[in-house]
Amino acid sequence: MSENMKNYIEAVKSIKEAILRSQYRAASNANREQLSLYYGIGRYVSQNSREGFWGTGAIEQISTNLQKELPGLRGFSVENIKKMRHFYEEWEPIVNRSPLATDLGVNENLLLVTIRQPLAGEFNPAEFLQIGFTHHMEIIAKTKSLDARLFYIHECATRFWSKYTLRENLRADFYGKRGSLPNNFTQTLPNPKQALRAIAAFKDEYLLDYINVEQIDEADEEDIDERVLEKEIVAHIKKFIMTFGQDFSFIGNQYRIEVEGEESFIDLLFFNRELNALVAIELKTGKFRPSYLGQLNFYLSALDEYVRKPHENRSIGIILCKEMKKTTVEFAVRDYTKPMGVATYRTSAEMPEKLRKAMPDIDELKKLLDNE
């Protein structure tokens, strides 16, 4: 490749990054202005409609008149105006209403938010203003607790979820399932925020519905079972990452580490961008045993010593097994100094019968695709 061509490629890359940053700032500013306007309108409509100043059908008449006054105006249907009122009423108990915000104007002070303890440290006003009104209404409609709403706002703002991704994660109860695996992250990760991120990054159970269960059942010895399980996961690594969560990058399976001439092999090794840490996963096809943690602890020590980069956080280990008892795991992990957790997995054959029947049969689906 010529020097000029390299310069052109670098120039395109730089300009592209500048454009994307500009588009992101423009979208963020647009969200900020829109939320401020909608919150103000919601407050105005709420105060007049709820307290009886307006008669029946007022919102319908206001929407109709706005369309006449501003032809082509979008976003101010009866349904949307009611959503603005709902948006205001859901957040009003938490929003610090400034004395300056006494009339309807577009006033950013309307959205200077203070959260009552103990949530004050978790709320980020910039994140609140960063996501769109549609995202906010999806979150309000599908969640009840303030904790859950703040969680989804943070995820949308930091992971740039589309409204479709948000809907899917709301439907899957991403908040309810996060951070439930037994672990020792708060004791072993020095930064509390890093520990919370680690807790949120993993679930206590994963559905691996693409695993060939019959092939695993046919294996006689446990270590053979684990190799078969590993092979199936690697063969469907994209699906596994989508199941496991976002920000995971696959480094390799049977990852070799050497300590004083002795070789060891980690079943699966990932890197998580959000955690900025290596994640080692050990696969077990049977019930959790406390002895598994000693092996994983050794792997994490070796990774931190020989593989981890200076700018990266401590490596994290996960035992992925067929079954466990949480209390047993909690007792087992709490005295280890390396960050570790234990999760279980299920295959499609172990799903509730009603749910399994609702899923398409793989062979039938293949036939349909072949016919197409």
Kindly state the DSSP code that residue 348 receives in the 8-state scheme: G
Q: What's the CA gap between 331 and 310, in Å, rounded?
A: 32
Q: What's the CA gap between 149 and 103, in Å, rounded?
A: 27
Q: What's the CA gap between 85 and 353, in Å, rounded?
A: 43
Domain limits, the chain:
1-112, 113-177, 185-355
Q: Which fold has domain 185-355?
A: Trna Endonuclease; Chain: A, domain 1 (3.40.1350)
Q: What's the CA gap between 110 and 112, in Å, rounded?
A: 6
Q: For residue 125, give the nearest of 110, 139, 140 by alpha carbon.
A: 110
Q: What's the CA gap between 9 and 250, in Å, rounded?
A: 27
pLDDT at res. 94: 77
Q: What's the CA gap between 324 and 360, in Å, rounded?
A: 30
- Distant-in-sequence contacts of 231-234, Cβ < 8 A, 24+ apart: 232/208, 233/208, 233/268, 233/283, 234/268
Q: What is the largest CA-CA distance in the chain?
A: 84
Q: Along the chain (372 residues), what's the average pLDDT of each consecutive run of 10 residues?
A: 68 69 70 86 87 81 88 89 93 61 39 36 74 94 91 84 86 74 89 81 84 55 71 88 86 94 95 95 94 96 96 96 91 94 81 46 48 48
- Burial of 22-37, coded b for 16+ CB within 10 Å and e otherwise, reads eeeeeebeebbeebbb
Q: Do residues 75 and 129 make contact, with C-beta atoms less than 8 angstroms apart?
A: no
Q: Do residues 139 and 149 make contact, with C-beta atoms less than 8 angstroms apart?
A: yes
268 strand-pairing partners:
253, 281
Q: Do residues 155 and 169 make contact, with C-beta atoms less than 8 angstroms apart?
A: yes
pLDDT at res. 139: 97
The token pair at 325 is 């008892």
pLDDT at res. 217: 52
pLDDT at res. 216: 52
pLDDT at res. 360: 47
